[in-house]
Structure 1
């Protein structure tokens, strides 16, 4: 029996020695460090990593040059949320002058302790108007320097569009003159007066349109300045152009569908580039699932442009989504489809962080169908080290197919390789049993009389 054990032990050791190292991670990439000293190392993740990993990034590993797994943390890069706040500037109306048939002039003066403004809102109760406004600045009320020209407008009759703001540069003036061209306007009445007259056997009809002349009333000229501040934290994002794979106009449902290649990037926003102007369309973003396309976000796309005036909102925000493809569905109604020339996507910036040892090299492995998320204490360690610890930013080298990659057992089953695996196991067991029986027979065989 001792000989049988020896043979089996030798067989197993030989098989283990000859078996190649295997891994379920498809790809590997070297981490390129400029300074191989001990430091907290930050490695930004890029598009190839997202394209080859699963949701939540459970199939990412970090190994050193000895093949040992290294603890790491995947963190979202953040920054302070920059906000632009409109701060009112105290002022008073110094004079009001009506130039008949030409303009309305309003002169405002800053209060003694008021900061310098960079804009004003011409507040009026009127609707359905458009006016050109010139802004001039002065220190003494005698010499006036032109600062800016703009338009205020209200198109309520056609759409919900109103803009009464005028921006101008801050150049040290304490008095401002606002020249609003045309102190009055003509407004057509929506009603017509019909009249009939008969001349013998012939009947004549006439339509009379009423034109109303109204003064342009200004309730107040409210000066303000824009102040930039920081509010809370928000993830940083990277914008990239996405390939448009398909554009479909559905005349029956009166929608336009645009499909883009999302590359499994962690997207939170899509932005359209369009050549169409003056539109206001509801839209939504969808992702594919086994049950079909499902909503991930909704919004409104708009672009208004007339003369020097331009205002646009061509972005659609949604919760972070990773998918191979995304679809934008725009409700056209009875309007012509939009001319979209491109789509950009904003993806959340994530990075691998770990403590690199001096003199060691590292590689990132990813892309497994079965790997579970690792349980490391790197988050606690990195938090304890704090922002003052030595830090370096490294980059990822080229994508290399892992030569030791083997599909996981679950993947093998999914691909129909389970029968082959079972056959190999059965053959191995049968072979081991045959060898064991042969050894047992050899142990029991009678020996001759030699020694």
Structure 2
């Protein structure tokens, strides 16, 4: 029984595990946070200095008011949109003075700022005007907007069949389209109230001046430590148009990371000009600190790139100051797991949230670091090995004693 208890105690010491908990003394870095409007929702932007010190998932960020944690919610500032679409009836469809015209019955009291047409026409550029009216007959309507509609199926550049108007509630819209689309090519229409939020980005590195390698424009970039790179944005002079170039990203050893295209197309049709461009290449880095950008110019004049910039989606720390004018941000504990706050579970981003101001980074003056949290067996290997050797010796002695007792006495 005593032997069994000794074994159990030894195993308990060997496999005991400590609990990982948020303790300010275990967080290596701190920054003062100044709050100018403590009665509103505030936020902090995770900058390059923080990214260089935190866990990749930002789980070791903590806000403290004295010794008390301040709940927060992390948010990626991605592009977003909300749309409520309603079908509209087409009335009085026909041709007047060479233009295709019709009325849309929006119905109800719904707000809208876009009109989506369903068209069978292809390969065209036209101008469309929209006038708002409260009644089909009577006084002239109010001119709301003029939009350019186009379809570049032949060039593989997509289309736009939407008229954008200021936010309106007119019951009727009168639409007039320049020649190129006949009434039979208009098959339907709908309206929507679309509210868009643009993505927000921060710089995630710096790129050097470009150099020419045969027919390739090459740009070397240094990435900020820890910052997740999600796209490369190219700046090309506005007077350079009608290009599409293949772009390849690779590490410094030449291993490919991703590829895609950058382009700017200016098309003219029926006296109308449309410019479409895509100068961002989506890219998600892992551990690369340097990358190479190769732009294949084919047999064309090398593309002039004024600037190439690695960028990361802005991450924000939203919190409710609850009347406080100052708190502290702590981070830098590689073993700390993500917090669980009701504030984050039920988080709602306020449109008038206020940016709080962070001071410069400093060492946490109370930092002690975590105690040695390895299992007891890892920290005291000599004890474990000694116990094992002692057990072997004891077993050997017991075996010898047994052999001696089993030896028959001489006659």
Is it true that 1:169 corresponds to 2:169 in the alignment? no
Structure-to-structure mapping, 1:22-61, within 5 angstroms: 27-32=29-34, 44-57=45-58
Q: Which of 208, 213, 231 lines up with 1:246 in the alignment?
A: 208
The corresponding residue for 2:317 is 351
Partner SS, residue 176 of structure 1: strand
Which residue of structure 2 lines up, in the alignment, with residue 180 of structure 1?
A: 179
SS in 1 for 2:266: strand
**Structure 1 residues 272 and 87, CA gap change in structure 2 (3 angstroms):** farther
Displacement, 1:279? 2.5
Q: 1:244 to 1:94 in 2, by over 3 A?
A: same
Secondary structure, aligned partner of 2:313? strand
**Cα pair distance change 1:246/1:272, threshold 3 Å:** same
2:137 matched residue in structure 1: 140
The higher radius of gyration belongs to 1
1:303 is matched with which residue: 240, 260, 264?
Answer: 264
Alpha-carbon deviation of 1:257?
A: 3.5
1:364-375 matched pairs, under 5 angstroms: 364-366=329-331, 372-375=334-337
**Deviation digits for residues 329-364 of structure 1 (CA, Å, limit 9, x no counterpart):** 4443333333333336242414387999x99x8654
For residue 91 of structure 1, report the CA deviation from its aligned partner: 0.5
Q: CA deviation at 1:176?
A: 2.8
CA distance in 2, matches of 1:25, 1:292: 38
2:74 maps to which residue? Answer: 76
1:220-251 deviation per Cα after TM superposition (whole angstroms, max 9, x unaligned)? 26433233269xxx9x9642356643243554
Q: Distance in 2 between matches of 1:113 and 1:35?
A: 43
Residues 169 and 379 of structure 1: CA distance in aligned 2, closer, same or farther (over 3 Å): closer
Q: Secondary structure at the match of 1:270?
A: strand
Structure 1 residues 341, 250: closer, same or farther in 2, change over 3 A? closer
Contact in 2 for aligned 1:72/1:379 (Cα 8 Å): no
Structure-2 change in CA distance of 1:32 and 1:255 (3 Å): same
User: Number of aligned pairs?
Assistant: 328
Aligned counterparts of 1:352 and 1:121: Cα–Cα separation in 2: 40
Q: Residue 244 of structure 2 is aligned with which of 266, 275, 280?
A: 280
Q: Secondary structure at the residue paired with 2:165? A: coil
Q: Report deviation, 1:57.
A: 4.5
Q: Give the root-mean-square deviation of aligned CA atoms.
A: 5.4
1:373 Cα shift?
A: 1.6
Flag structure 1 segments of 5+ consecutive residues without an equivalent. 1-22, 184-215, 409-451
Q: CA deviation at 1:260?
A: 5.3
1:339 and 2:304 are equivalent in the alignment: yes
Higher strand share: 1
TM-score by length of 2: 0.56
Answer yes or no: is 1:396 the counterpart of 2:395.
no
TM-score norm. by structure 1 comes to 0.52
Q: How does 1:290-439 map to 2 (within 5 A)?
A: 295=257, 297-306=258-267, 308-319=273-284, 324-342=289-307, 343=309, 345-351=311-317, 363-366=328-331, 372-375=334-337, 378-379=339-340, 395-400=357-362
* 2:192 alignment counterpart: 226
Partners of 1:144 and 1:340 in 2: CA distance: 47
